[in-house]
Structure 1
Amino acid sequence: MDKINILYSTVNRSHHIIRYGEFFKWELQKLPDVNLYLVEEEANINDLINKFNVLPDFIFFDDFTKNVPMHGLDQVSIPKGVLYWDIHTTQNEFQTFVWKNKIDMIFSFYRDAFRGFFPEFARKLRWLPNHVYTEEFKDYGLEKEIDFLLMGALSQRIYPLRTKIAEEMAGMKGFVHHYHPGYRDFSPEEEIDQLVGESFARAINRAKIFFTDDSVFRYPIAKYFEVPACNTLLLASGSKELIDLGFINRVTFVEINQENYLAKAMYYLEHEKERKEIALRGYEMVRKRHSTAIRARQFADYVKKYLYE
């Protein structure tokens, strides 16, 4: 099996609230056909080639907004790729980055939204959906002591469904809402108090029902994968993209909207057998199709296909 050498521009997010980029690197490094050379410092591409004493087959940026610059990319013919996270933000900067650095492949968590925002980059797009690190997001076997749980950022402009749920269910018996602790690094002590990392997964596992939505942009966000991975029933908005990912209404999750969310929540609270069956199918589906290990394999296969075909 031919090994591919990937020069991987990154930053350390091991203590950040969003750390699935770290999990992704871990899984990539386990692959037998990938050599990963991590770059966290600003440098010229030729200096990096000399430092590692290897000519990379592929250069990858796991975030173009937070990673430090790598100079001289427009002077080399090595194929290059970038992961674009929040595709509704910094769009002009992203377009400049792609053209200036002669980016060949663009990876996005969000297929349909990306195509809508950037039709000119459709041929460069490689759909790499969100994923879940199943060593952390799993069924801990905790008592289901919370009837309804909602966690995450609120905004009427960005997240109208979850914001409506939080406002209308506030004070209702059995409803728990944990506010977003902020996009920053956390100490081990803070992680427990603020429900970050494993504490976040354990909180999900204690709930019978978890609410979220895919925002006005229709993004299949990480919670769609994290919640079922903890064997908790997900009630959330749906889309064609989510169907393609395996999120089928009343099969692996329950689709809701602003008019029916409460009635459906009450129904599945009362009908325990149906709730558990859907939650279990969602649990099995995300572990089979959307683990971080699976996504790392898909990424490597995308790169190899581009290089060798």
Structure 2
Amino acid sequence: MAGATEKKGIVKQSRPSLLHQVRSASDKGAREGHERGYGEGYFRGRAQALVHTLTEHAPQRQLRIIYVSSGKGFPYSPLDEAVVSTMQAMAIDVRVSGPKDSIAVSAVEYRADLVLVLDGMDFPAEQLIELKALAIRTALWITDDPYYTDRMSAVAPHYDYIFTLESTAIEYYQSLGCRQVHHLPFAAFPEHFTPRASPAPFQYDFSFIGSAYWNRVRFFEPIMDRLMKYNTHVSGLWWDRLPQYKKHKSSIKLDLWMGPKETAEFYNSSKIVINMHRDYDDSTVNQNSQQIRATSPNPRTFEINGCGALQLTDARSDLASFYVPGVELVTYETPIDLLEKAVYYLTHEEERREIALRGLARTLKDHSYVKRLQQLLGIIFDRQTE
């Protein structure tokens, strides 16, 4: 019998030599490494193909626009960059100003068709009154609804058009006398959030980037020890609130507020990116005395999918208007649900990649700043106002 030794009627199976075991393990590792490398390379190639075929370029309008930034710097400055860069390709001229600049005088000299203000918390109402007297259209794109609606109540009625990223805030602004109020979320800016063309130089199983609001601390606490058994990265403000912080601080970058490109690098370097919305009724940070509920997805929803990462997010009621749960991203309801789904997709590579690619394709088609600004300009210049 091959591979066996017979002695006194007893047949013994010879054990593979140590060299044979090493070679077998090496061959297996090489095969698995090749499969992983091939799968990751194929995934990156398909993601790049989607970027090249689905990225949209809008036609230019004969418009002169004054854009008024938030004036707050980071983290609002990346939003300014996304809007200005996109709008410059959509209008014949775009002039950028700050909220403390004298806009009314320059708007007349510039022959502005529109003054578009981002955030608007520091843009004086007196300037809006002057612009209205000059019959120059004004629009406000609000960045933080419904969390700081109290601060917007005094200035919002002076604008001709209000655009809010939270659908439930529409009725609130209408109650203040605003006639033109529209839901317009943010999007994924491809200069910031896009898939890497090659595999990332470092790799995480799971990542979460965002501040440790109390609802997030309470949610993560019961599963953090099990989540941290994997290669998990967490970064953001206040994570020392977490009871297990000291135990896991080597995997938590405390009080780090990353820029968009660094954030995108982590998204691209993570198999699964967790998203969790903040609470609308957190009195420790919010200024939302009307207790307007938050039902629309946050900007991070679009940015994660824009990187071609598998997103695991809590489900807000508006989410299905933007992505198909289970098809273009994955939703969870409880801490255990999050953990079980994270582990499942970690071990089901093909399913993970297919959902991520579908989420990327949907983002490129429907959730770009080109799409958002086409909608905004279409509402202002193409519709008959009341």
TM-score scaled to structure 1, two decimals? 0.81
Aligned pairs, how many? 289
Q: Which residue of 1 aligns with 2:141?
A: 83
Q: Which residue of 1 aligns with 2:199?
A: 142
Q: Which residue of 2 aligns with 1:59?
A: 115
Give the AA of the match of 2:111.
L
- 5+ long unaligned stretches in structure 2: 1-59, 239-255, 280-293
Q: Which residue of 1 aligns with 2:220?
A: 165
Q: Distance in 2 between matches of 1:279 and 1:243?
A: 16
2:343 to 247, 259, 266: 266
- Change in Cα spacing, 1:271 to 1:39, as seen in structure 2 (3 Å) is same
Q: Which residue of 1 aligns with 2:95?
A: 37
**The residue matched to 1:64 in structure 2 has which SS?**
coil
The percentage of counterpart residues that share the same residue type is: 21
CA contact (8 A) 1:13 1:22 kept: no
- Change in Cα spacing, 1:162 to 1:21, as seen in structure 2 (3 Å) is farther
Q: Distance in 2 between matches of 1:233 and 1:220?
A: 16
- 5+ long unaligned stretches in structure 1: 183-192
Q: Which residue of 1 aligns with 2:49?
A: none
Please say which structure displays the higher CA radius of gyration.
2
Q: Distance in 2 between matches of 1:196 and 1:44?
A: 30
Q: Distance in 1 between matches of 2:384 and 2:98?
A: 25
- Change in Cα spacing, 1:265 to 1:90, as seen in structure 2 (3 Å) is closer
CA contact (8 A) 2:189 2:368 kept: yes
TM-score scaled to structure 2, two decimals? 0.66
How far the C-alpha of 1:88 sits from its partner, in A, is: 2.9
Q: Which residue of 2 aligns with 1:179?
A: 235
- Which 10-residue stretch deviates more, 138-147 or 258-267? 138-147
Q: Which residue of 2 aligns with 1:25?
A: 84
- Change in Cα spacing, 1:90 to 1:194, as seen in structure 2 (3 Å) is closer
How far the C-alpha of 1:167 sits from its partner, in A, is: 5.7
**Cα-Cα RMSD:** 2.9
The Cα offsets for residues 46-77 of structure 1, whole Å up to 9 and x where unpaired, read as 42235xx2332222211211446662235333
- Which 10-residue stretch deviates more, 75-84 or 118-127? 118-127
- Change in Cα spacing, 1:265 to 1:232, as seen in structure 2 (3 Å) is same
1:214 to 252, 266, 277: 277
CA contact (8 A) 1:145 1:207 kept: yes
Give the AA of the match of 1:115.
I
Q: Relative contact order: is structure 1 or structure 2 higher (C-alpha 8 Å, sep ≥ 6)?
A: 1
Q: Which residue of 2 aligns with 1:284?
A: 361
How far the C-alpha of 1:175 sits from its partner, in A, is: 4.4
CA contact (8 A) 1:108 1:114 kept: yes
How far the C-alpha of 1:15 sits from its partner, in A, is: 5.4
**The residue matched to 1:19 in structure 2 has which SS?**
helix
Q: Which residue of 1 aligns with 2:264?
A: 201
Give the AA of the match of 2:360.
Y
Show the 5 A alignment for 1:89-108: 89-99=147-157, 101=158, 103-108=159-164
CA contact (8 A) 1:83 1:106 kept: yes
Give the AA of the match of 2:68.
S
Give the AA of the match of 1:198.
K
